[in-house]
Amino acid sequence: SSFWNILTTGNIFLVLVVTLIVCIYFKFYKHSKRFMELAEKLPGPKCYPVIGSAHLFGTNPEAILQNVCEISLQYPDIAAHWIGPLLYVSVQKPRNVEAILGHNNLLTKSIANDLMKCLMGEGLVTSSGEKWKKHRKLIQPSFHYQILERYVGNFISK
């Protein structure tokens, strides 16, 4: 008699867990359908289920940096990288970088920023929130057109 009670309780629990997983999946799918449609239009390396394109990056900081450089040569404008369920988009063209770094609504960086901090240290690219805003205001005058104009000859010669 107790065996049947355990079996029934186990089945009920299993049905509840499966139902919960299905509900979460459809809720995620509903909210992310548009996001996924747009993400599929972005160029980038081949992705696999669960790991995305994580297999391309390597396991140590030197390998990661080397592989990122190689991928950026293959996709010189914009590239989508899936690391597990997370989408990361790399941009290289100055106008795209400017649009992202100059946007006031994008002050908080993602969790992957912690990895970049380990590789690059904390600075204008890796800081976020008010600290980023403060650093940006300090450095912005250095990039004024008239100041940069003095260095055009050096940029061209190198």
Domain boundaries, the chain: 1-41, 42-92, 104-158
Report the alpha-carbon distance of residue 95 to residue 101 in Å, rounded: 10
pLDDT value at residue 50 = 77
Supply the pLDDT for residue 43.
92
Q: Could you tell me the mean pLDDT of each successive run of 10 residues in the chain, 158 residues long?
A: 62 83 79 82 86 81 84 89 84 86 67 74 76 80 76 75
pTM over cut 0.85? no
Alpha-carbon gap, residue 122 to 81, rounded angstroms = 23
Contact by Cβ (8 Å): 81, 114: no
